[in-house]
Chain A
């Protein structure tokens, strides 16, 4: 069975602060995909990033960056200089893997980020 843990239920930061959202996963598969999605107050789910298990390069996209470490089974998400528009629920998800044909998807319980002006 696969599992995704987002231990931070809610985080509040003041605008312009940096914030890191944690994601820890468990899987027996050697090949899998990890994702981050954003759910703003309007409710839709927005894809942010995908990372496959054989690519441990960190990625930066504007104020967003992601740190993938297989050794600690973590895929953390950092927002630099947070803005009010970053206020949302963020979900980490795992799609594994070589044993099951990449069919099952497991989401974490989400981290609600509130950016205070």
Chain B
């Protein structure tokens, strides 16, 4: 089954404790992206990657890191989480060519609470 998986689905942590949210896709998609969803703000793009070793900042990259060492994986790293990073996080992937349509397929989301 074609899918995007994220782990963990729920996480409660404390300020400053480094954490990683994993994202993996099995569709051989070139493009992957991370979003955060906050009430009243919709989804905002954190980072995206067009392919292995190619990443770039979205609209809200501060406090986050990513890496793309393999095509299927795109982990989101919070090196020193703060309470304002409490949010619902989505990973997404899509083909990287226009003939494929560019629509994104989303993971189930990770609800992160930083106390």
Contacts and interface: CB of A to CB of B under 8 A. Distances in A.
B31 interface: yes
Interface stretch (A11-19, A60-68, A96-104): A96-104
B103 to A, nearest CB: 5
Interface of A: 6, 9, 33, 35, 37, 43-45, 47, 50, 52, 91, 93, 95, 101-110
B50 interface: yes
B106 A45 contact: yes
Interface of B: 31, 33, 35, 40-45, 48, 50, 56, 58-59, 88, 90, 92, 98, 101-106, 108-109
Contacts, number: 56
Interface of B is mostly: strand
Given A95-B102, A103-B48, A103-B50, A108 B109 contact: no
Given A47-B104, A104-B48, A106-B59, 10 more contacts: A33-B103, A44-B106, A44-B108, A45-B106, A47-B105, A95-B102, A103-B50, A105-B104, A106-B45, A107-B42
A108 B42 contact: yes
B83 to A, nearest CB: 22
A103 B49 CA distance: 8
